[in-house]
Amino acid sequence: MTGITPEAFVFGLSAVGAGIAMIAGLGVGLGQGIATGQALQAIARQPEARGSLMGTLFIGFAMAETSVIFALIVAIILIFVHPFTLS
Amino acid sequence: MSLDVSPRIIFWWSPSFYITETALWAMIVAAFLIIMALLSTRKLQRNPKGMQGVAELIVETVYNFVRDTMGKRNMAFAPYIGTLFLFLFFSSLLGLLHWRAATADVNFAFAMAILVFLLIQINSIRSKGVGGYFKHFAKPYPFMYPINLLEEITFPLSLGFRIFGNILAGYIIMELFFDMLAGVTSSIGIPFLQMVIPLPLNFFFDMFEPGLQAFVFSMLTMSFIARAITYPGDEE
């Protein structure tokens, strides 16, 4: 632990925290994958419903992304805004 | 690396009176939209051609969409929804020219979200009356009052953060990608890698995402306004 200044230590741990915060992407990825699979099944069963299905699918994607967007904002704040700097 | 997530002040007259980059871009986009609207409606003809045709196509699409989503009696909101969509879309499209998009600033995103929030609440009060407005939070069961109140308050929060996070993430990825390409080519001397390689990323993050996010923003605005307005005839 020699040669590491306290500021560098805090910045490094902030970066680690940002990385951990983005684990939230796991759930959203799973959810969107399931949603796409179901939409593909629906299109295969009823190809003429494709237009309305795609619109609903994208709206659902945007809604599901909300949680990972919050995680992304936490990560961005940790990396760029430095909320834990030593005063 | 020129990454910056805070608003950049570009003109200032005094420490408390200044213009940020975002405000300037918002004004330029608004002026561009107004000028395009004036130009396309200058000489109206019965058989539209050129710019008038494009403008009529946009207006017709928006009106059809609002009619399908909000119902025929809420058609008065169609101009606002169309303007909101075009304004958000063009403000986010600035990343295509390798500028920082206006929506990548949290102040811009939240200004739009608060505008929508006020619109929803004012219309809710206007259609229900003040007493009915405070009563409708306890609609299914009285113990759900705080939950319904919280839902109303978190709606603009998630609306603003959604468009801000998406556009800012695209901006950061584009900056990092350009930095990587510049780093690779700096040893050669001629920066040629930046020419064609970022185009697919540009298409996704600077054209597809703004369109999708502006669409989602106006879509959620439409459905929440339509939900907030109750007419004397309908019962829940």
The reply to whether residue A69 touches residue B168, judged by beta carbons under 8 angstroms, is no
Residues in chain B: 236
Residue A61 lies in a domain: yes
pLDDT category at A85 given cuts 50, 70, 90 is confident
Residue A75 within a domain:
yes
Contact yes or no for A70 and B5 at CB 8 A: no
Q: What is the ipTM of this complex?
A: 0.79
Give strand pairing partners of B143: none
- A58·B216 Cβ contact <8 A: yes
Is residue A11 in a domain? no
**CA distance to partner chain B, nearest, from residue A74 (Å):** 10
Q: Answer whether residue B236 shows pLDDT above 70.
A: no
pLDDT at res. B1: 47
**A3 lies in some domain:** no
Among B233, B227, B71, CA closest to B136: B227
Q: What's the one-letter identity of residue A20? A: I
Q: Write out the two tokens for B6.
A: 């805070």
CATH number for the domain harbouring residue A44: 1.20.20.10
Chain B residues in contact with A72 by the CB 8 A cut-off are 165, 169
Instruction: Look at A87 and B37; give whichever has higher pLDDT.
Output: B37
Task: Calculate the dihedral angle through the C-alpha atoms of B91, B62, B208, A45, rounding to the nearest 10 degrees.
Answer: 160
Give a yes or no: residue A74 inside a domain. yes
pLDDT tens digits along B137-182: 887 788 888 888 898 898 899 899 999 999 998 988 988 888 888 8
B231's tokens: 């007419």
* Lookup result for tokens 């609903």: A56
CA atoms within 13 A on the CB side of B134: 2
Check residue A86 and give its pLDDT. 66
CB B18 within 8 A of CB B11: yes
Q: Would an 8 Å CB–CB cutoff place A81 in contact with chain B? A: yes
Averaged pLDDT, A31-44 = 94
Q: Would you say the C-alpha torsion A48, A52, A56, A61 has a positive or negative sign?
A: positive
Residue-wise pLDDT tens digits, A38-80: 999 999 999 998 888 888 888 888 888 888 999 999 998 888 8
Residue of B nearest to A73 (CA): B165
What angle separates helix B21-40 from helix B106-135, to the nearest 10 degrees?
A: 80
Burial of B118 (0-12, 13-18, 19+ CB in 10 A): exposed
| Domains held by chain A: number | 1
Domain presence at residue A1: no
- Which amino acid, one-letter code, is at A48? E
Residue A31 lies in a domain: yes
Angle, CA B201 vertex, CA B199 and CA B204 arms, to 5°: 110
pLDDT tops 90 at residue B8 = no
pLDDT digits (tens, 9 = 90+) for B55-93: 999 999 999 989 988 888 888 899 999 999 999 999 999
Q: How far is CA B209 from CA B95, B102, B168, in A?
A: 11, 14, 11
Parent domain of A76: 27-80
Taking 60 as the threshold, does the pLDDT of residue B235 lie above it? no
Which residues of A fall within a CB distance of 8 Å from B3? 80
- Is A9 a domain residue? no
Kindly report the average pLDDT of chain B as a whole number.
Answer: 87
Residue A23 is predicted with a pLDDT of 93
Q: What is the mean pLDDT of residues B19-29?
A: 90
Give pTM, 2 decimals: 0.86
The residue assigned the tokens 């003109």 is: B11
B81 closest CA partner among B229, B216, B194, B196: B216
**In Å, how far are A23, A45, B29, B78 from B32, measured between CA atoms?**
41, 45, 5, 20
Rounded distance, CA B121 to CA B141, Å?
Answer: 21
